Amino acid sequence: MASIGDILLMIGDLLYWLAYTFYAYLDSLYRLIVPPALKSLHGDIALVTGAGGGIGSQICLQLGKAGATVVCWDNDKASNDKIVKQLKANGVKAFGYQVDVTSRQQVADISAQVKSQVGDVSLLVNNAGVAGYYQFLQMSQEEYDRVMDINLNCHMYIMREFLPKMLEKKSGHIVATCSMAGHEVFPYSLPYIASKFAVNGYMRALRREVSQYPSKPDIKFTSIYPITINTGIITNMVKLIPKRPWHEGIMLDPAYAGKVIADGIRRNQEDIFVPPSCRALLWLRMYLPTKAWWKLMDILEPEIVPLKKD
């Protein structure tokens, strides 16, 4: 049986939590009206994977514009060289490395080069990603493993290389491009969905773990949740057939996404939704009856048709 002291302690904890919750609501409301100032990235070394195209290249441009030295990683040398050249033309200090992020050894070797040639990475953006839009039973195990290696496993390889120095310096920023698919599902994308739910989970777990370190490092964590961005990761794999008038404009411009993401990083946001209105879907999912939620998805989603394999 709980003692009087235990009961008083629980009551004290509850009152403290209620007071803090009230403060958190007020702070959120204030920040909705007055967003935090954009921090300068001068002096930061930002490493972006999947830098050669899509959202990655736009993130690189925006981080460089904010003053960061940008380290571009991509397996496609031509596209990576192109973004590095564009960054340098904009007056940004930029470096490019061709890396297969699914290779633990390559990640270790190229990370050593970055540390030697550029310096300690203070802003890590795990952005490389690939889709797998096929019916599950038609997908080979090799294709499934490839999606998981690029979208999830490589994050672990890369963070093991750069997180220790951030912990030593007690500062840094880790960013992961997740997806709205890390919160909700859609057809023909089982490995992609699985990988993005895992990214969402590991970022929350790592943020919580680092907060428990006795040294209390000031390391920020940011998860990015885009919806449909007009990049090859989608358009090369599926055809989106509009069922409603609003489906015509469902594909967002990568430049818009890059700006929203970079601004969110510079404001130390823990979660960045692209577009920001996507956050409302999470509230709807929590409070709608399950049948009503699935019916809403039937209405909101365009028809998704996987492209046939060659």
pLDDT digits over 75-116, tens only? 999 999 999 999 999 999 999 999 999 999 999 999 999 999
Residue 176 pLDDT? 96
Is 129 within the bounds of a domain? yes
Strands 271-274 and 123-126: unpaired
Is 127 within the bounds of a domain? yes
Is 263 within the bounds of a domain? yes
CATH number at residue 197: 3.40.50.720
Q: Please report the sign of the dihedral spanned by the C-alpha atoms of residue 105, residue 109, residue 111, residue 112.
A: positive
Is 140 within the bounds of a domain? yes
By residue range, what is the domain housing residue 126?
Answer: 40-306
Mean pLDDT across 252-278: 90
Return the bridge partners of 241, or none.
303
Is 11 within the bounds of a domain? no
Is 8 within the bounds of a domain? no
Residue from 97, 192, 202, 225 carrying the catalytic annotation: 192
Is 153 within the bounds of a domain? yes
- Contact between 152 and 128 under an 8 Å Cβ cutoff? The reply is no
CA–CA gap between residue 230 and residue 253 (Å, rounded): 6
Q: Give the residue ranges of DSSP H helices in the chain.
A: 4-33, 54-65, 77-89, 104-117, 141-148, 154-169, 190-211, 232-235, 254-266, 279-287, 290-300
Is 2 within the bounds of a domain? no
Q: Please report the sign of the dihedral spanned by the C-alpha atoms of residue 28, residue 34, residue 40, residue 45.
A: positive
192 given a catalytic annotation: yes
What backbone phi and psi angles, to 5 degrees, belong to 59?
Answer: -65, -45
What backbone phi and psi angles, to 5 degrees, belong to 46?
Answer: -105, 125
pLDDT digits (tens, 9 = 90+) for 106-142: 999 999 999 999 999 999 999 998 877 777 888 888 8
Q: Which two tokens stand for residue 298?
A: 């039937």
Total domains in the fold of the chain: 1
